[in-house]
């Protein structure tokens, strides 16, 4: 099956610093990847859709200058949380869309990255 990895799995940073999270599709090429944020005991909320070679599409209320997304290759998308603050502490999950599949189950999720901002 399609495998998606994330790195790092956990990161702790100081307030005001920037943190980069990587999302990789390991055995397929993904033209589209998605970034979600999940607060404790809450659901996954879509932050943005990342398209290879073009600008990401951000959901309403998500600051594009704070959450920088780069999808420079067909197997890698990165999310950079700039000038992180404690309220950015969350579980960040990416998913990758398997192209040209006959199945409607076309999104495969990474294991998530726990960000803690002190």
Partner 1 sequence: GESVGLHLPTLSVQEGDNSIINCAYSNSASDYFIWYKQESGKGPQFIIDIRSNMDKRQGQRVTVLLNKTVKHLSLQIAATQPGDSAVYFCAEKRTSGSRLTFGEGTQLTVNP
Q: Which of 14, 41, 65, 86 binds partner 1 (CB under 8 A)?
A: 41
> Cβ closer to partner 1: 49 or 82?
49
Give the one residue of 11, 44, 62, 76 binding partner 1; rule: CB under 8 A.
Answer: 44
Cα torsion for 82, 85, 91, 92, to the nearest 10°? -10
Residues in the chain: 118
Minimum separation from the CB atom of position 70 to partner 1 (A):
19
The reply on whether position 29 binds partner 1 by CB under 8 A is: no
Phi, psi of 86 (to 5 degrees): -55, -35
Q: CA–CA separation, 74 vs 29, rounded Å? A: 5
Judged by CB under 8 A, how many residues of this single chain contact partner 1?
25
**112 touches partner 1 by CB under 8 A:** yes
DSSP character at residue 26: S
């Amino acid at each position: 099956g399609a495998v998606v990895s994330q790195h790092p799995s956990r990161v702790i940073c100081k307030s005001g610093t920037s943190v980069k999270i990587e999302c990789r599709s390991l055995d397929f090429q993904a033209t589209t990847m998605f970034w979600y944020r999940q607060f404790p005991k809450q659901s996954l909320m879509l932050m943005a859709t990342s398209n290879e070679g073009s600008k990401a599409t951000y959901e309403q209320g998500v600051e594009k200058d704070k959450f920088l997304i780069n999808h420079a290759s067909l197997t890698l998308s990165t999310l950079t949380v700039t000038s992180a603050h404690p309220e950015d502490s969350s579980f960040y999950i990416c998913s990758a869309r398997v192209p040209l599949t006959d199945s409607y189950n076309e999104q495969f999720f990474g294991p998530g990255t726990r960000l803690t901002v002190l």
